[in-house]
Homo-oligomer: A and B are copies of this chain.
Amino acid sequence: MTIQPIYKNILIVGGGLIGSSLARACKEYGAASQVVIADKDAAVRSALRALDICDAVTAKAEPSDADLVILAVPPGAIVDTAKALLPQMQPGTTLTDVGSVKADIVENIAPHLPRTITFIGGHPIAGTEQSGPEAGFASLFTDRWCILTPDDAGSEAAKTLKAFWLALGSRVAFMDAKHHDLVLATTSHLPHLIAYALVGTATDMETVTRGEVVKYSAGGFRDFTRIAASDPVMWRDVFLQNKDAVLDVLGRYIEDLTALKKAVRWGDGETLLKEFTKTRDIRNRIIDAGQDSAAPNFGRDVLGEKTED
């Protein structure tokens, strides 16, 4: 699928998993005439050049020619990067980001924003547990939701940025930044914290060896290790920037887990069965919504052919 370029010159700052996937997707789907990636890490730059996925790779971000600047650096570096680049940007340019937290970023960029530049917070709900430019791929955003938090959803800048994400294969939703943070605390940040904690617990048992944890991980544990292998710097920043919403949903979660613990302690099979039954429906809804594979075990375990039935 090739379409009219949405932007002439896109500058992507940060060439990791997301930044490099954006560059690939821009080229694959023809969403931009020219794509430049800036990254301050020399190893990342040389990897990007070897991959040959964009028109230029630079050490320093030069935003003066860009009509769209995308900040794809770790969440904790977004505000400072924006402050450094804003004075060099030409009037009419749109600035956006891909950070997993929005309110903190939007609030801290706002005071530095000239009236001639539009900042629209962005967050593609897409990624993998891998990091770095080699881990990226063009279809990363296909069928995934991208949340944008424009001040004015009816503005040309917001409509154009929406068209850009649609061109990459994403679905797009406009949302208030604070509400975004609460939704994502629930569907992303809390799941990651839970997974990091479980992997920590399981690998620190004095009665069960790490070798046993590895060997018998197919019973459920291995799923959590995928999430807990995600980029540590990015996730540190997420929890520092979205503290209030994370503490809110984490408090509710510990209450619910404690109720299950009590049911286990008292041998309350009725409560366990009730709780375990009501959770099946949401899985079906996620599959119906095209947000996960219907294949058992995500399809990873069906080796060779099935029997002829």
Give the contacting residue for A256; candidates B137, B197, B263, B304; CB below 8 A.
B197
How many angstroms from the CA of A296 to the CA of B135 in the assembled complex? 8
Instruction: List B contacts of A60 (CB < 8 A).
Output: none
- A55 to B: closest C-beta gap in Å: 14
Contacts of A296 in B (CB 8 A): 128-130, 135
Q: A247 on the interface (CB 8 Å rule)?
A: yes
Please, which residues of chain B bring their CB within 8 A of the CB of A226? Answer: 223, 283, 292, 297-298
Q: Which listed residue (B51, B140, B276) contacts A309, Cβ 8 A?
A: B51
Interface members, chain A 156-193 (any B CB < 8 Å): 173, 182-184, 186-193
Inter-chain contact B187/A217, CB cutoff 8 Å: yes
Measured between alpha carbons, how far is A118 from B140 in the docked complex, in Å? 54
A205 touches B193 (CB 8 A): no
* Chain B residues whose C-beta falls within 8 Å of the C-beta of A126 in the assembled complex: 218, 301
Kindly list chain B residues whose C-beta atoms are within 8 Å of the C-beta of A282.
199, 202-203, 210, 213-214, 225, 228
Q: Quick one: which of A266-309 are within 8 Å of B by CB? A: 267, 269, 272-273, 275-280, 282-286, 289, 291-293, 295-304, 306-307, 309
A246 and B218 contacting across the interface, CB-CB below 8 Å: no
Name the distance in Å between A134's Cβ and chain B's nearest Cβ.
9
Residue among A204, A267, A293, A301 having the largest count of chain B Cβ atoms under 10 Å: A301
Interface size on A, residues (CB 8 A): 123
**Does B267 contact A240, Cβ atoms closer than 8 Å?**
yes
Q: Which residues of B contact A188 (CB under 8 A)?
A: 216, 219-221
Q: Complex Cα distance A214/B221, Å?
A: 23
A267 to chain B, nearest CB (A): 6
Contacts of A182 in B (CB 8 A): 207-208
Contacts of A210 in B (CB 8 A): 282, 285
Of all chain B residues, the one with the shortest Cβ separation from A197 is B257
Say which residue of B139, B265, B301 sits within 8 Å of A243 (CB atoms): B265
Stretch at the interface among A6-14, A36-44, A107-115, A141-149: A141-149
Judge whether B283 and A129 touch: CB under 8 Å: yes
Are A218 and B125 interface neighbours, CB within 8 A? yes
Q: Check: A4 CB closer than 8 A to any chain B CB.
A: no
The reply to whether the CB of A198 lies closer than 8 angstroms to some CB of chain B is yes
A69 to B304, CA, bound (A): 27
